[in-house]
Amino acid sequence: MAIWDDVIPAEDRRIYEIGGWGRSMGFGVNPAVLVVDVNYDFVGDEPKPILESIERWRYSCGEVGWRGVRAILKLLAAARAKGVRIFYTTVDHRADAFDYGRDRDKNVRTGEATSITGGKGPEIPTEIAPAHSDIVIGKKKASAFFGTPLASYLIDLGVDTLLVTGVSTSGCVRASVVDGHAYNFRVCVVEEGTFDRSSIAHKVNLFDMHMKYADVVTLADTLRYLDGLPARGAALTAVAPTAAYSASAGNRI
């Protein structure tokens, strides 16, 4: 049973099946991991039920976000053991909210202090802190590709497969997946490593991405795939787990 089967009607699933959607692309031979916007803004600074967490962190996904963090940690360890490149994105904004653009028109709380440059919100949690060999990309819009050098880095590395995790499934993850598909990468969304503040939006968007733009894969299948890859030079070593990542760190682009 797929994660979306309890919210997508059987008739809808049948319509997509008849239309030929949902075929598996499969993993390629040269992957990279993409961790989309997993920062304190979106998970809070400790695991709490979402209605408690959003009292301070208005974007927080609560406990499901921290479950995602734990899954991402396992994925990162497996990727680093094989020398697979890892990319992170995070979002921070000017204090005057100028660089939000039209986002200002969709959210009445745009520009609050936790999300601006220098605040804790844009920081990536210590548990999944980037290694010195990883690349952290700052972005202003939903897609990890929009207005960033991500595609050029992936092309330079000869990457053919993106292992996508992060938040939110219905927003920044989806936008990044659609753009990754448009660039003709094999896009694999790691189910346990993605999350959303809405469980229905999470499931519906996983379904739609799996039908048209990506393979939604389990963490277990992804770990088996990584384990079967040949090692790519020296394994990549994570930073010490007690060292917090700052949004101004040197590996940020």
Q: Verify whether residue 172 is a known catalytic residue.
A: yes
- Sequence-ordered list of residues with C-beta below 8 angstroms from that of 175, at least 6 positions apart, any chain: 141, 142, 143, 144, 146
User: Which among 154, 172, 173, 214 is annotated as catalytic?
Assistant: 172
Q: What is the 3-state secondary structure (H, E, C) of the chain?
A: CCCCCCCCCHHHHHHHHHCCCCCCCCCCCCEEEEEECCCHHHHCCCCCCHHHHCCCCCCCCCHHHHHHHHHHHHHHHHHHHCCCEEEEEEECECCCCHHHCCHHHHCCCCCCHHHECCCCCCCCCHHHCCCCCCEEEEECCCCCCCCCCHHHHHHHHCCCEEEEEEECHHHHHHHHHHHHHHCCCEEEEEEEEEECCCHHHHHHHHHHHHHHCCEEECHHHHHHHHHCCCCCCCCCCCCCCCCCCCCCCCCEC
* Active site members: 172
